[in-house]
Chain A
Amino acid sequence: MSAILPIVLDNLSARLGGRPVLDGLNATLSRPNVTAVIGPNGAGKSVLLRVVDGLVPADGGAVRFGLRPTQSVRRALVFQKPALVRASVARNVGLALIPARLGSSEVRDRVEAALRKVGLADRAGDPAGKLSGGEQQRLALARAAVTEPELLLLDEPTANLDPGATEEIEELVAAMARAGTKVVLVSHNLGQVARIADDVLVLWKGRAVEHGAVDRVLANPRTPEARAYINGELPWTSFAAVS
């Protein structure tokens, strides 16, 4: 088991623009490999990733990574839309190594290895903006992988991709998880969750309402909120029914 496990989300609260988004969220992620985070829009999934990454400070509560000090955990976050600089593919990957202050030859070697992993080694010199959507997301994964993260946070990485590109990303994520990286994946694609996740955390209005093995949660959700989401009931339907 990785030294960063279990990841404990202890009574987490966070606000965005003054609005509470996480509201006393509690969960313990003990399993290695891939944890999927699902839930309706506005449930707090993306904010949870940002809080775990350290990008958004928590208003209350804490994130603990096993017995490790938070700052020592190598984390990488990949967004739904790959944010790429107008520069070459290799230079975009190299950005992630700037804080490490490595020598230029080591940077070159690590960038090359990361690009090989995602099948973009032959595009290293091309402008990143010229890549297809799927290739850009693979580049974003290479940029995350080059820092050898212990925790990889993915925010709907295939939301804008076609099935072929989605499959490539899923294979890469699964390979990284098999290689020992703990992956936390936010997705609305329950098929994808079933294919690559080991456990599922269901969020609802900033709280964790269910957490368990993927097969069990998807087949037999125990809470009404998880059941409503997984069975495809849209939040406004439930709201309309209540009102």
Chain B
Amino acid sequence: MLDTIVSAFALIGRLDGDVLSIAALSLRVSVCAVLCGGLIGVPLGALVAVVRMPGRGAVIAVLNAFMGLPAVVVGLVVYLLLSRSGPLGAAGLLFTPSAMIIAQTILITPLMAALTRQLVEDADRELGEQLRSLRLTATQRARILAFDARFSLAVVVLAAFGRAVSEVGAVLVVGGNIAGHTRTMTTAISLETQKGDLPLALALGFVLIAIVLAVNAAASGLRWHAMRAYG
């Protein structure tokens, strides 16, 4: 086991090309998914927080339930949509990084929307009456409240990134784990473990954990700095 760990660190230390390219693809896919999920999920969550409408409770319940969407089921649905006989088959996206981004976006959008809804609703309790008295529309209030909660929203981004970068089911189904094309850290770890190449699997695992830790540390530092500045 010690030999495996030493070999894993050796792979990382000599900047092994396979490790780097797999890590780079994982990062690219997950960062794009978080950006897309944020563009949809944050405004959606903020609007659900401020708009009072019939069925709002059901929308919240669905968002909360979808936070725990099984990755492999999302992968299957996206596979069916993108497969040659599916409604979006003509786009030719199956087994490409784009398909993986779509699957991860679907996976994390409800998570981002549900957490944003909770944060913005908390901000609304504090500021909502004042904003309504300024005659702001629901959309304007949602935007301002999301802005007010922006430092806490960093946690939402972190949670989404963590979910995206660590999931294996969806990217495996829609990406196909094709070497040099759609192989991410999680699918590679799964494959290399099955093949018995434990040093590579472990090296990828260390890189994955290091990335998650680095992103968390950077976001926490940013949040701490911003909270000190704005209170």
Contact = CB atoms under 8 A, between A and B. Distances in A.
Bound together: yes
Given A95-B134, A96-B134, A99-B134, A85 B147 contact: yes
Interface stretch (A32-40, A75-83, A176-184, A211-219): A75-83
Interface in B104-162: 126-127, 129-137, 140, 144, 147-148, 150-151
Given A83-B127, A85-B144, A129 B230 contact: yes
Contact of B135 (A50, A99, A143): A99
B133 A130 contact: no
B148 A55 contact: no
A210 interface: no
Nearest to A153: B133
A127 B231 contact: yes
Nearest to B143: A98
B90 to A, nearest CB: 43
A86 interface: yes
A213 B140 CA distance: 42
A87 B147 contact: yes
A141 to B, nearest CB: 13
Contacts of A55: 129, 132-133
B229 interface: yes
Contact of A83 (B130, B137, B147): B130
Interface residues of A, number: 21
Q: How large is the interface on B (under 10, 10 to 19, 20 to 34, 35 or more residues)?
A: 20 to 34
Contacts of A54: 133
B140 A98 contact: yes
Contacts of A129: 230-231
Contacts of B147: 85-87
B46 to A, nearest CB: 14
B151 A86 contact: yes
Contacts of B129: 50, 55, 79, 83
Interface in A109-133: 127-130
A211 B108 CA distance: 59
Contacts of A79: 129-130
A57 to B, nearest CB: 12
Interface in B18-61: none
A84 B230 CA distance: 11
B148 A53 contact: no
Contacts of B230: 86-87, 127-130
Contacts of B136: 95, 98-99
Interface centre among A53, A54, A86, A127 (most CB of B within 10 A): A86
22 contacts: A55-B129, A55-B133, A76-B133, A79-B130, A83-B127, A83-B129, A83-B131, A85-B127, A85-B144, A85-B147, A85-B148, A86-B148, A86-B151, A86-B230, A87-B230, A95-B134, A95-B136, A98-B134, A98-B136, A127-B231, A128-B230, A129-B231
Q: 9 closest Cβ contacts across the A-B interface?
A: A129-B231, A83-B130, A86-B230, A77-B133, A127-B230, A83-B127, A85-B148, A99-B135, A96-B134
